[in-house]
């Protein structure tokens, strides 16, 4: 699903966010990305979601080389990814239903299909009764679940989450992580950046640890024998 | 996995209808935005409407002046004073010859007797003129050139007529006509310049409004880009907003001009009565209405396109 070969990302000004990162996530695999803030977790996710381009090295997503991708193709590649943000990035001028339906509208689904899939996604995160609410009236945990529903509504092959539990209490965090595990169980590849080490340990999934842009621990390299 | 995926993807026909649907949705959505923020929209539309009123009003003014000057041109006439030694019969024969010419629409023959009678009645000298031994006035012919004749042709006609042996003096006051036409030409060009300037102003107003709109929806644009929206998808609602601004602005300017005409129509008809003229005020016809609406809508689209092209592509997720 994801293959990084010797990826280096240097920002203008000389700061090297990633140095020589080699990483591979198989289709249907779930893994956690940990490390201190500034270790390069976000940069790694940004390269996968085509927000940043690597300075050196090769990034491949689902057999597509991200280095040489024309910018006009970027939207279509992003449609295979569901992205979950720490601050949800919901649109507060429209109700929950419209927020979740957005990826389907963008991809040109038929009207009845949009309604069906949006309700299914809201059902999965347990917010079916909130479809008409405005996001501002929801709690932090509920808002994050709306964000997840929006990320999965179009059934992406890959889910990326950047500190999805960063603002939530432990109980809510566990709930959110269980939702990700649920998607992993139905065959979606999941990569979650988080520094909630206790929770990660509890979930028993491969972990990749970054420190100052370098991988210092990588379960994925031996995941074939120890986790499958 | 990817095969399974494709079954869920919408098919081509669906995508076409969804594309049309999104156009329609953008149209309605942008109209809804107009409806939801009436005061700011009204301000923008008012500015556009008033700005467009000036070129529209000038255009109408010009049309009216041209129609008046057209009447004047049609009423251009050459007066021929014939040589004194011509008899009435000879003069009348000459008049008939003139009537047959192609470059002359109409002639009016005034015999010297008739001219004297008119003079007696109008001059106030009355009976004192009875003492004249002979009629001092020449026969005269008033020549009306064909209606479409321009100034140059009239001048040629004048010199041709002057050259005829029967004619003593051929008279046409061309100078004031030329001055008038030159003034009209200046007015015409001024109207074109003003229209261009004001259209440009409208372009900038709409462009700036859309730019602010883009800035206000910065976050939304970022999010939709991140979940796979193409640039054209994001562009669409903004372009339609521009179209609405242009359309409503055009309608408003049309309304303002029409209302101004109603306000002016009273004094104009009084003036008509005082001058006993046949002049009718020219108002916007249906074609003019369509031109104004289409033009302002196009300006709206162009203005928003400028803003969108400049600012939308700059917004990329960071």
Give the best residue of A81, A89, A108, A135 to mutate against chain B (max B CB count within 10 A).
A108
The reply to whether B50 and B191 lie within a common domain is: yes
Question: How much is the pLDDT for B9?
Answer: 55
For B19, the closest chain A residue by CA position comes to A108
**Cβ–Cβ below 8 Å for B230 and A27:** no
- Residue B264 banded pLDDT, cuts 50, 70, 90: confident
Alpha carbons A67 and A3: distance in angstroms, whole number: 12
The reply to whether B299 and B262 lie within a common domain is: yes
Question: How much is the pLDDT for A160?
Answer: 94
In A, which residues are within 8 Å of B316 by CB distance? Answer: 51
Contacts of A61 (CB under 8 A, 6+ apart): A1, A2, A3, A48, A77, A80, A81, A158
Mean pLDDT of B34-50: 84
Residue B279 has pLDDT above 50, yes or no: yes
Q: Would residue B231 count as lying in a domain?
A: yes
CATH number (domain holding residue B128): 3.30.70.3040
**Cβ–Cβ below 8 Å for A157 and B2:** yes
Residue B124 has pLDDT above 80, yes or no: no
In B, which residues are within 8 Å of A89 by CB distance? Answer: 219, 222-223, 226
Question: How much is the pLDDT for A226?
Answer: 42
- The two three-digit tokens of residue A186, written as one number: 């139905």
Residue A227 has pLDDT above 70, yes or no: no
Model confidence pLDDT, tens digit, residues A151-204: 999 989 999 999 888 878 888 888 889 989 999 999 999 999 998 888 898 888
Q: Would residue B48 count as lying in a domain?
A: yes
Q: Would residue B7 count as lying in a domain?
A: no
The reply to whether B194 and B253 lie within a common domain is: yes
In chain B, % of residues over pLDDT 90: 21
Q: Render A172-195 in DSSP notation, one character per residue.
A: HHHHHHHHHHHHHHTT-EEEEE--
Residue A146 has pLDDT above 50, yes or no: yes
Cα dihedral: B146, B148, B152, B158 (round 10) = 10
Q: Would residue B9 count as lying in a domain?
A: no
The reply to whether B111 and B196 lie within a common domain is: no
Q: Would residue B13 count as lying in a domain?
A: no
Alpha carbons B227 and B213: distance in angstroms, whole number: 21
Q: Does B229 touch chain A (CB under 8 A)?
A: yes
- Residue A222 banded pLDDT, cuts 50, 70, 90: low
Where do we find the tokens 């997720």?
A: B317
Contacts of B179 (CB under 8 A, 6+ apart): none
What 3-state class would DSSP assign to A8? strand
Alpha carbons B304 and B205: distance in angstroms, whole number: 9
Give the best residue of B17, B37, B228, B237 to mutate against chain A (max A CB count within 10 A).
B228
Phi, psi of A36 (to 5 degrees): -65, 165
Mapping DSSP onto H, E and C, the string for chain B reads: CHHHHHHHCCCHHHHHHHHHHHHHHHHHHHHHHHHHCHHHHHHHHHHHHHHHHHHHHHHHHHHHHHHHHHHHHHCCCEEEEECCCCCHHHHHHHHHHHHHCCCEEEEEEECHHHHHHHHHHHHCCHHHHHHCCCCCCCCEEEEEECCCCCHHHHHHHHHHHHHCCCEEEEECCHHHHHHHHHHHHHHHHHHHHHHHHHHHHHHHHHHHHHHHHHHHCHHHHHHHHHCCCCHHHHHHHHHHHHHHHHHHHHHHHHHHHHHHHHHHHHHHHHHHHHHCCCCCCCCCCHHHHHHHHHHHHHHHHHHHHHHHHHHCCCCCCC
Nearest to A106 among B5, B17, B224 (CB): B224
Question: How much is the pLDDT for A225?
Answer: 43
- Residue B148 banded pLDDT, cuts 50, 70, 90: low
Domain final residue pick, B171, B188, B204? B171
The reply to whether B56 and B90 lie within a common domain is: no
For B1, the closest chain A residue by CA position comes to A157
Q: Render A82-96 in DSSP notation, one character per residue.
A: EEE-TT----TTS-H
**Cβ–Cβ below 8 Å for B5 and A83:** no
Of B7-21, B34-48, B53-67, where does mean pLDDT reach its minimum? Answer: B7-21
Question: How much is the pLDDT for B110?
Answer: 87
Alpha carbons B176 and B163: distance in angstroms, whole number: 23
The reply to whether B63 and B83 lie within a common domain is: no
- Look up the pTM and report it: 0.72
The reply to whether B192 and B48 lie within a common domain is: yes
Nearest to A109 among B18, B219, B316 (CB): B18
Alpha carbons B173 and B178: distance in angstroms, whole number: 9
The reply to whether B186 and B294 lie within a common domain is: yes
- The two three-digit tokens of residue A175, written as one number: 């709930």
Domain final residue pick, B126, B144, B171? B171
- The two three-digit tokens of residue B162, written as one number: 């002057």
The reply to whether B204 and B190 lie within a common domain is: yes
Q: Of A116, A115, A114, which Cα lies nearest the Cα of A104?
A: A114
A84 against B72, higher pLDDT: A84
Domain final residue pick, B113, B139, B171? B171
- Residue A93 banded pLDDT, cuts 50, 70, 90: confident
Residue B128 has pLDDT above 90, yes or no: no
What is the extent of the structural domain holding B306? 23-71+179-311
Residue A224 has pLDDT above 60, yes or no: no
Alpha carbons B97 and B55: distance in angstroms, whole number: 49
Of B55-69, B80-94, B170-184, where does mean pLDDT reach its minimum? Answer: B170-184
For B316, the closest chain A residue by CA position comes to A51
Mean pLDDT of B12-39: 75
Mean pLDDT of B187-191: 88
Question: How much is the pLDDT for B4?
Answer: 42
Nearest to A78 among B5, B22, B227 (CB): B227
Residue B74 has pLDDT above 60, yes or no: no
H-helix or E-strand spanning residue A17 = strand A16-25
Structurally, chain B folds into a number of domains equal to 2
Q: Does B315 touch chain A (CB under 8 A)?
A: no
Question: How much is the pLDDT for B174?
Answer: 63
Q: Does B314 touch chain A (CB under 8 A)?
A: no
**Cβ–Cβ below 8 Å for A108 and B5:** no
Question: How much is the pLDDT for A206?
Answer: 92
Q: Would residue B17 count as lying in a domain?
A: no
Of A18-32, A94-108, A154-168, B159-173, where does mean pLDDT reach its minimum? Answer: B159-173
Mean pLDDT of A18-25: 90
The reply to whether B195 and B149 lie within a common domain is: no
Alpha carbons B103 and B99: distance in angstroms, whole number: 9
Residue A122 CA: distances (Å) to CA of A1, A83, A127, B54? 26, 16, 5, 55
Nearest to B14 among A75, A93, A110 (CB): A110
Residues B240 and B26 sit within 8 Å (Cβ to Cβ): yes
Alpha carbons A8 and B208: distance in angstroms, whole number: 41
The reply to whether B186 and B297 lie within a common domain is: yes
- Residue A221 banded pLDDT, cuts 50, 70, 90: confident
Residues B220 and B109 sit within 8 Å (Cβ to Cβ): no
ipTM of the complex: 0.86
Residues A176 and A148 sit within 8 Å (Cβ to Cβ): yes
Question: How much is the pLDDT for B17?
Answer: 75
Instruction: Provide the residue count of chain B.
Output: 318
Q: Would residue B1 count as lying in a domain?
A: no
In chain B, % of residues over pLDDT 70: 89
In B, which residues are within 8 Å of A28 by CB distance? Answer: 1
Residue B39 has pLDDT above 70, yes or no: yes
Instruction: Provide the residue count of chain A.
Output: 228
Residue A109 has pLDDT above 80, yes or no: yes
Residue B244 CA: distances (Å) to CA of B15, B51, B309? 26, 16, 18
Alpha carbons A129 and A133: distance in angstroms, whole number: 9
The reply to whether B158 and B202 lie within a common domain is: no
H-helix or E-strand spanning residue A45 = helix A41-48
Question: How much is the pLDDT for B304?
Answer: 94
Q: Would residue B16 count as lying in a domain?
A: no
- Residue B1 banded pLDDT, cuts 50, 70, 90: very low
Question: Distance between alpha carbon A136 and the CA centroid of its chain, in Å?
Answer: 23
């Amino acid at each position: 699903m994801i293959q990084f070969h010797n990826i280096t990302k240097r920002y203008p000004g000389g700061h090297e966010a990633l140095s020589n990162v080699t990483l591979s996530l198989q289709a249907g695999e779930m893994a956690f990305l940990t490390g201190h803030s500034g270790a390069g977790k976000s940069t790694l996710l940004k390269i996968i979601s085509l927000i940043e381009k690597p300075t050196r090295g090769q990034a491949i997503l689902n057999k597509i080389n991200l280095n040489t991708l024309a910018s006009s193709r970027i939207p279509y590649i992003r449609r295979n990814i569901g992205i979950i943000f720490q601050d949800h990035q919901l649109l507060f001028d429209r109700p929950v239903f419209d927020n979740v339906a957005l990826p389907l509208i963008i991809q040109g689904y038929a009207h009845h299909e949009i309604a069906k899939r949006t309700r299914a996604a809201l059902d999965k995160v347990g917010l079916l009764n909130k479809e008409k609410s405005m996001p501002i009236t929801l709690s932090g945990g509920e808002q994050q679940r709306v964000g997840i529903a929006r990320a999965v509504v179009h059934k992406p092959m890959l889910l990326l989450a950047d500190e999805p539990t960063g603002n939530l209490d432990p109980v809510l965090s566990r709930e959110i992580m269980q939702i990700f595990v649920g998607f992993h169980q139905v065959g979606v590849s999941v990569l979650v950046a988080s520094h909630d080490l206790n929770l990660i340990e509890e979930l028993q999934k491969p972990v990749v640890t970054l420190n100052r842009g370098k991988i210092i621990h990588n379960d994925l390299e031996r995941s074939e024998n120890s986790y499958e | 996995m990817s095969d399974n995926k494709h079954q869920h993807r919408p098919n081509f026909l669906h995508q076409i209808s969804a594309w049309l649907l999104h156009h329609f949705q953008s149209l309605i959505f942008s109209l809804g935005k107009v409806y939801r923020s009436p005061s700011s929209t009204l301000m923008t539309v008012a500015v556009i409407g008033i700005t467009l009123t000036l070129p529209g009003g000038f255009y109408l003014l010009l049309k009216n002046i041209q129609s008046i000057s057209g009447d004047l041109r049609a009423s251009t006439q050459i007066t021929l004073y014939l040589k004194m030694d011509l008899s009435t019969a000879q003069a009348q024969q000459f008049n008939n010859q003139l009537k047959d010419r192609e470059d002359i629409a109409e002639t009016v023959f005034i015999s010297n007797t008739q001219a004297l009678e008119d003079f007696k009645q109008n001059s106030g000298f009355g009976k004192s003129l009875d003492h004249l031994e002979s009629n001092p006035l020449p026969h005269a012919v008033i020549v009306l050139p064909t209606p479409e004749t321009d100034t140059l042709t009239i001048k040629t006609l004048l010199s041709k007529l002057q050259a005829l042996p029967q004619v003593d003096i051929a008279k046409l006051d061309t100078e004031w006509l030329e001055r008038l036409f030159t003034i009209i030409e200046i007015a015409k060009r001024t109207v074109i310049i003003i229209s261009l300037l004001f259209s440009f102003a409208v372009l900038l107003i709409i462009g700036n409004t859309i730019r602010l709109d883009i800035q206000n929806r910065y976050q939304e644009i970022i999010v939709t880009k991140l979940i796979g929206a193409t640039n054209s998808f994001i562009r669409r609602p903004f372009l339609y907003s521009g179209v609405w601004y242009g359309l409503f602005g055009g309608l408003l300017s049309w309304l303002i001009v029409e209302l101004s005409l109603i306000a002016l129509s009273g004094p104009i008809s009084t003036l008509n009565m005082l001058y006993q003229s046949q002049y009718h005020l020219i108002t916007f016809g249906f074609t003019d209405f369509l031109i104004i609406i289409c033009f302002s809508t196009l300006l709206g689209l162009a203005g928003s396109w400028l803003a969108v092209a400049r600012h939308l592509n700059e917004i990329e997720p960071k």
